[in-house]
């Protein structure tokens, strides 16, 4: 049984559950409750597998039929999830996947793990949540628990999901139950997993909170219950905004220190020797992943509803989104110093995933850097051992395949380190390419290369 922690004082635990809640609580306790997960990506699939491991029957939903087909064959399409985990769940008879959303009525608990991107105007795009809530409403029955896991602004669960579910005539806290529990996935992090990362839970009411808490306790190591869905939504926003503004700080300091001939990485390494009052964050070519580049903008948008301006957060966003432009400007300047022009130059981008040692391209700054290089007239190639072909993205579409690091390296005028994968031979690049723009301090950890290294 998982450890539970309530971070607020309440006597609600003593309240009597209504009959639909009592029946669901018994099914959760007996592990006969069927858990449905909508969205089988980096968040939904590992969550589904954890519930299967915990002894619950599970049913995964995804609009991508190819994903469903592969799961039914026992295959994995996410590098850090072994196919053996999927085959094991299938063999035990507790796992199924489908693209048929009419089967939502089969699930006793429905967990929503769909994307929450931004529009081109950098406003929240809740279409995935709205469409999913409408689909659930079409088959909603008494006794079901719905939990939103998609990161969003405080109030989404009650203001967007709840009215759509209640449109069918059922009432939250009486007939069905609704909660928010933010995902905290960190792909590629071997130290923490879906099971070991503490799980925040907040309900729209006490019955919903108790049921959601009980559900996650059945399979995860630690559950932290907060006083409401809004608080749970705010927890996730705080976590990612905290990282975004601190990364923006070191990015701005990097740009500030460059003309002073001060190495920001050396400064950070020295500063982190202080045993109190300092946590190291590192600069880079921009922010990637589905959360940190997006979530703070959800909060700034919601704040405007209350007549508030989140100037600090918005400034951090401007700094971080401007970093790809800074990298390309540094490249153009360095080429000019070598008597070359960016237009017509052959440039090799090293690493296109948003973080090291994974294949995830979501919101990767590499996509914008490649686009900026192409717009400037450069010929841009890339190498990434985890991404053999650039996938279609919401704002970018390239017809590019990863090139090998072989004798062809000498044909490039410059290389740009965007993602510092462990599997890349940076020493070989530094010996063959005359100029390297290093956004990750890779060459600060290697013997001095033949190439001229410019940090950016």
- Looking at the annotation, which residues are catalytic? 291
Beta 199-203 vs 177-180: how paired, if at all?
antiparallel
Spatial separation of the C-alpha atoms in residues 353 and 357, rounded to whole Å? 8
- Separation CA 204–CA 165 (nearest Å): 13
Backbone φ, ψ for residue 200 (5° rounding): -85, 135
Q: No. of H helices and E strands in the chain? A: 15, 14
Distance of alpha carbon 200 from alpha carbon 216, whole angstroms: 9
Measuring CA to CA, how many Å separate 432 from each of 85, 327, 348, 351, 380? 42, 21, 12, 17, 17
Tokens read off for 192: 């923490």
- CA torsion angle 40 44 48 49 (round to 10): 90
Based on the number of CB atoms within 10 Å of its own CB, is 276 exposed (0-12), middle (13-18) or buried (19 or more)?
exposed
Find the Cα–Cα–Cα–Cα dihedral 395, 157, 43, 134, rounded to 10°. Answer: -70
Backbone φ, ψ for residue 60 (5° rounding): -95, 140
Sign (positive or negative) of CA dihedral 289, 295, 296, 298: positive
Residue with tokens 């939250």: 172
Cα 25 to chain centroid, rounded: 31
Give the C-alpha separation, 182 to 178, whole Å. 13
At 315, is the secondary structure helix, strand, or coil? helix
Instruction: Give the count of alpha carbons within 13 A of 69, CB side only.
Output: 3
For the chain, what percentages of helix, strand and coil (3-state, to nearest 5) are there?
40, 15, 45
The DSSP H or E segment spanning 393 is: none
The rounded distance, in Å, linking the Cα atoms of 180 and 148 is 5
| Distance between CA atoms of residues 231 and 202, nearest Å | 7
């Amino acid at each position: 049984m998982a450890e539970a922690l309530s971070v607020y004082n309440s006597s609600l635990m003593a309240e009597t559950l209504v009959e639909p809640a009592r029946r669901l609580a018994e099914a959760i306790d007996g592990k006969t409750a069927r858990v449905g997960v909508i969205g089988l990506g980096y968040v939904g699939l590992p969550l589904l597998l954890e519930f299967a491991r915990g002894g619950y029957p599970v049913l995964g939903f995804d609009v991508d039929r190819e994903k469903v087909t592969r799961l039914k064959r026992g295959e994995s399409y996410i590098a850090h999830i072994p196919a053996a985990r999927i085959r094991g769940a299938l063999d035990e008879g507790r796992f199924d996947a489908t693209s048929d959303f009419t089967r939502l009525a089969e699930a006793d608990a429905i967990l929503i793990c769909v994307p929450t991107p931004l529009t081109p105007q950098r406003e929240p795009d809740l279409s995935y949540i709205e469409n999913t809530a409408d689909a659930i409403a079409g088959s909603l029955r008494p006794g079901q628990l719905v939990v939103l896991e998609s990161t969003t602004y405080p109030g989404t669960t009650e203001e967007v999901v709840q009215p759509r579910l209640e449109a069918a005539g059922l009432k939250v806290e009486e007939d069905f139950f609704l909660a928010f529990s933010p995902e905290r996935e960190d792909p590629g992090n071997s130290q923490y997993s879906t099971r070991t990362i503490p799980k925040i839970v907040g309900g729209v009411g006490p019955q919903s909170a108790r049921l959601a808490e009980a559900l996650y306790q059945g399979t995860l190591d630690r559950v932290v219950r907060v006083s409401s869905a809004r608080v749970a939504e705010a927890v996730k926003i705080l976590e990612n905004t905290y990282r975004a503004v601190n990364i923006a700080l070191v990015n701005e300091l990097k740009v500030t220190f460059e003309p002073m001939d001060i190495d920001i990485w050396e400064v950070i390494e020295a500063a982190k020797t202080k045993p109190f009052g300092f946590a190291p964050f590192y600069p880079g070519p921009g922010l990637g992943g589905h959360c940190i580049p997006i979530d703070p903008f959800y909060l700034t948008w919601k704040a405007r509803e209350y007549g508030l301006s989140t100037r600090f957060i918005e400034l951090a966003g401007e700094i971080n989104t401007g970093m790809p432009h800074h990298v390309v400007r540094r490249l153009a300047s360095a080429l000019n110093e070598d008597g070359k022009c960016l237009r017509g130059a052959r440039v090799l981008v090293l690493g296109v995933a948003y973080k090291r040692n994974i294949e995830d391209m979501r919101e990767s700054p590499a996509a914008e850097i490649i686009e900026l290089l192409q717009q400037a007239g450069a010929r841009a190639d890339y190498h990434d051992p985890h991404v053999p072909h650039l996938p279609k993205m919401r704002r970018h579409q390239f017809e590019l395949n990863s090139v090998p690091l072989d004798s062809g390296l000498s044909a490039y005028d410059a290389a740009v380190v965007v993602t510092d994968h462990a599997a890349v031979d940076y020493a070989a690049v530094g010996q063959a390419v005359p100029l390297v723009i290093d956004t990750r301090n890779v060459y600060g950890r290697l013997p001095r290369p033949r190439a001229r290294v410019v940090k950016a």
